[in-house]
Amino acid sequence: MEDFVNAWAYFLNRWEYLLETLLDHFVLVVWATLIVILIGVPLGILISRAKKMQEIVLGTVGVLYTIPILALLGILITIMGIGTRSALLALVIYGLLPVVRNTCVGINQVPEKTKEAALGMGANNLQLLMRVEIPLTFPVIFAGIRTAMVMTFSLATYAVFIGAGGMGRVIMQGIRTYNTGMLLAGIILVVIATVSLDRLIGYVDHRVKKRFSLVE
């Protein structure tokens, strides 16, 4: 209980620093998510057409996903050095799987009859993709993005190990200086932020699902 009191005291004392750090953290997550979307969605679309590519790509991304993050960071340090760049790369690698997989699976799940109707009416492949497949898959893709973003937010606490900023710094420092107040304040802040982020995206997700409902 005393620790919580300390945490509150620490927060009152250093809320500027904490919020600043939280913002850094958030910015890192946003960048990572944007890149994941930029790479993951087109990749998912590409492989949705080719069965073999699907296996290869999904398999690779899946394996990368299972590498424990500290190990991955260790590898990245030796290849790319420390800093935000490496942290970003690590976060992107982890964020790819949900987005790529959801995109690919989502597109493959568009009902045949719907595609046939569109093609029968004279849609070319690009129009089929842009006017039918992507709009119909959008809720699934968005769910993937949501998963990726929330997960990235949590993982970004590890960015501290590769020399990037973020809430991980607060947590680690709290540990290293035996300052439970700082530690708890950091943890609680991360938890609150993660849950809030999830709720926020969840709300958007809900609206998206309503608009793009796949129910016939």
**Sites of contact with another protein (CB under 8 A):** 6, 13-14, 24, 27, 31, 35, 38-39, 42-43, 45-46, 77, 81-85, 88-89, 92, 111, 113-114, 116-127, 129, 131-132, 135-136, 160-165, 169, 172-173, 175-182, 211-216
Q: What's the rounded Cα separation, in Å, for the pair 68 and 73? A: 9
Q: How far is the CB of 166 from another protein (least distance, A)?
A: 11
Note the helical H segments in the chain: 2-49, 51-66, 69-80, 84-108, 112-120, 125-127, 134-155, 167-176, 180-211
Closest approach of another protein to the CB of residue 170, in Å: 9
| Residue 213, helix vs strand vs coil | coil
Minimum Å gap between C-beta 164 and another protein is 7
Residues 6 or more apart in contact with residue 197 via CB below 8 angstroms: 149, 150, 153
**What are the DSSP calls for 137-184, one per residue?**
HHHHHHHHHHHHHHHHHHHGGGGGGGT--SHHHHHHHHHHTT-HHHHH
The residue (of 2 and 66) whose beta carbon lies closer to another protein is: 2
Q: Which residues of 88-110 are buried (b: 16+ CB within 10 A; e: fewer)?
A: bbbbbbbbbbbbbbbbbbbbeeb
Helix (H, G, I), strand (E, B) or coil at 81: coil
Min separation Cβ 152 and another protein, Å: 14
Q: Please identify, using beta-carbon distances, which residue of 153 and 165 lies nearer to another protein.
A: 165
Alpha carbons 119 and 113: distance in angstroms, whole number: 10
Minimal distance in Å, beta carbon 31 to another protein?
6
Tell me whether residue 199 or residue 211 sits nearer to another protein (CB atom): 211
Q: Which is nearer to another protein, 31 or 65 (CB)?
A: 31
Smallest distance, another protein to C-beta of residue 195, A: 26
Give 198 or 209: the residue with its C-beta nearer to another protein. 209
Q: Which of 62/111 has CB closer to another protein?
A: 111
